[in-house]
Amino acid sequence: MRTLTMLASTMAVGMSLLAAEAEYPLREAVEFTPRQGLANVFAKLEAGKEVKIAYFGGSITAADGWRVKTLKWFQGKYPKAKISEVNAAIGGTGSGLGVFRLDHDVLQFKPDLMFVEFAVNDGGADPLSIHRSMEGIIRQSWKALPDMDICYVYTLAHDGMLNDLKNGKYPRAASAMEALADHYGIASIHMGLEIAKLEKEGKLVFKGTRPKTDAEKAALGDKMLFSEDGVHPLAETGHEVYAQVVARSLEKIAVVPQAKVGPHTLGAPLVADNWEAAKMVPLSRTTMSAGWQKLDPAKDNLAKAFGNRMAELWKAETPGTSITFRFKGTSVGVYDLLGPDCGQVSATLDDKPAALRPRIDPYCTYHRIASLDLGSGLADTVHTVTITVDAQVPDKMKILFEHNRPDMEKNPAKYQGTTWYAGAVMLIGDLVE
pLDDT digits (tens, 9 = 90+) for 92-114: 899 999 999 999 999 999 999 99
Residue 143 · residue 276 · CB < 8 Å: yes
Pairwise CA distance, residues 93 & 120, whole Å: 9
Residue 52 · residue 205 · CB < 8 Å: no
Choose among 349, 419, 337: nearest CA to 387.
349
- Output the CA–CA distances (angstroms, integers) from residue 281 to 286, 336, 429, in the order listed: 9, 12, 10
Pairwise CA distance, residues 244 & 73, whole Å: 9
Each of the 433 residues of the chain gets a pLDDT tens digit; together they read 433 344 444 444 444 443 444 589 999 999 999 999 999 999 999 999 999 999 999 999 999 999 999 999 999 999 999 999 999 999 989 999 999 999 999 999 999 999 999 999 999 999 999 999 999 999 999 999 999 999 999 999 999 999 999 999 999 999 999 999 999 999 999 999 999 999 999 999 999 999 999 999 999 999 999 999 999 999 999 999 999 999 999 999 999 999 999 999 999 999 999 999 999 999 999 999 999 999 999 999 999 999 999 999 999 999 999 999 999 999 999 999 999 999 999 999 999 999 999 999 999 999 999 999 999 999 999 999 999 999 999 999 999 999 999 999 999 999 999 999 999 999 999 999 8
Pairing of strands 322-338, 113-117: unpaired
Residue 89 · residue 58 · CB < 8 Å: yes
Domains and CATH numbers, the chain: 2-253 (3.40.50.1110), 278-432 (2.60.120.260)
Residue 96, phi then psi, degrees to nearest 5: -65, -35
Pairwise CA distance, residues 172 & 153, whole Å: 14
